[in-house]
Structure 1
Amino acid sequence: MIDHLGITVSDFDRAKAFYDAAFAPLGASLLYMVPAEYTNGAKVGGYGRDRPVYWLHEGAVPAGHRQHVAFTAGNRAEVDAFYAAAIAAGGTDNGPPGLRPHYHPNYYGAFVFDPDGNNIEAVCHAPEGQE
């Protein structure tokens, strides 16, 4: 149902460094930068695996405005690697990798606040050993 989505980041280069590291274990990377003449000079870039689906737009982030976005991981090891990479890249813990059975018995996720306080998650829904 969702084709793509975007968030505003206060410092594009800082956010890019964070997302470059956090998305690498999930097989995603920065795929496209919109030319500045189409963005009034703001930095805008899209991340994805095969096409841009998660966009960063540099601008003023309203106080208290935080988004939650969850990204699909292929297996639990990718969730673990996402969490470790995101923390190493300056993210803040919001829930280490683990089962969240209150969602469903196989929900394995990890939550990290990005540099602007957005709650970024990697999740695997497959039973252990069936990823």
Structure 2
Amino acid sequence: MIDHIGLGVRDLQAARAFYDAAFAPLGIAVVMSVSAEQTGGTAHLGYGPTADRRDIQAGKPSFWISESGAPTGPMHVAFLARDRAQVDAFHAAAMAAGGADNGAPGVRPHYHPNYYAAFVLDPDGRNVEAVCHAPAQEP
């Protein structure tokens, strides 16, 4: 339903360092960059999958950040993970990149029995989630 979303950030390079690290385990990276000269205002970075996925083609940006001086207000955004290991890796990478824990990886049965997610706060305090809806893999 949603094609893309854009967020204003205080510090574009700090936000990029965080999102680059947090998204790497999910196969998401900057796939498009638009300069301040091109927009006549601020620079924008567009994140998207690095490989084709069922839900979106590789290279199509769906999550944008731009330096606005004042960040977009509080919000929650969730990114789909292929499996629970990707959720765990997202959380670890986001924490190592300076994110704040807002919910360790685990099942949230109040959503549904297989809702496995982790939540972190980005450098501007927004709640960023990675979620897997698939059942746990058998060992």
Q: TM-score, normalising length from structure 1?
A: 0.94
- Identify the residue that residue 127 of structure 1 maps to in structure 2: 135
Give me the whole-angstrom Cα distance separating, in 2, the residues matched to 1:112 and 1:62: 17
Provide, for residues 53-107 of structure 1, a one-character-per-residue CA deviation record: whole Å limited to 9, x for no partner: 00001103258x2111000000000000000000000000000000000000000
Amino acid of the residue matched to residue 43 of structure 2? K
Report the RMSD for the aligned CA atoms in angstroms.
1.4
- The verdict on how the C-alpha distance between 1:47 and 1:66 changes in structure 2, with shifts beyond 3 A counting, is same
Give me the whole-angstrom Cα distance separating, in 2, the residues matched to 1:98 and 1:127: 12
Of 92, 109, 117 in structure 2, the residue corresponding to residue 84 of structure 1 is 92
Give me the whole-angstrom Cα distance separating, in 1, the residues matched to 2:18 and 2:25: 12
Secondary structure, in 3 states, of the residue corresponding to 2:2? coil
Give me the whole-angstrom Cα distance separating, in 1, the residues matched to 2:24 and 2:71: 28
Q: TM-score, normalising length from structure 2?
A: 0.88
Secondary structure, in 3 states, of the residue corresponding to 1:94? strand
Q: Which runs of 5+ in 1 are unaligned?
A: none
Of 68, 71, 91 in structure 2, the residue corresponding to residue 59 of structure 1 is 68
Secondary structure, in 3 states, of the residue corresponding to 1:38? helix
Give me the whole-angstrom Cα distance separating, in 1, the residues matched to 2:113 and 2:24: 27
Matched, 1:72 2:88: no
Tell me by how many angstroms 1:39 deviates: 2.5
Amino acid of the residue matched to residue 99 of structure 1? V
Q: How does 1:23-34 map to 2 (within 5 A)?
A: 23-34=23-34
Of 93, 113, 119 in structure 2, the residue corresponding to residue 111 of structure 1 is 119
Give me the whole-angstrom Cα distance separating, in 2, the residues matched to 1:119 and 1:22: 13
Amino acid of the residue matched to residue 52 of structure 1? P
Aligned length: 129
Identity of aligned pairs, percent? 60
Q: Select between 47-56 and 36-45 the one with higher mean Cα deviation.
A: 36-45
- Identify the residue that residue 102 of structure 1 maps to in structure 2: 110
Give me the whole-angstrom Cα distance separating, in 1, the residues matched to 2:68 and 2:40: 11
Conserved? CA contact 2:7–2:71, under 8 Å: no
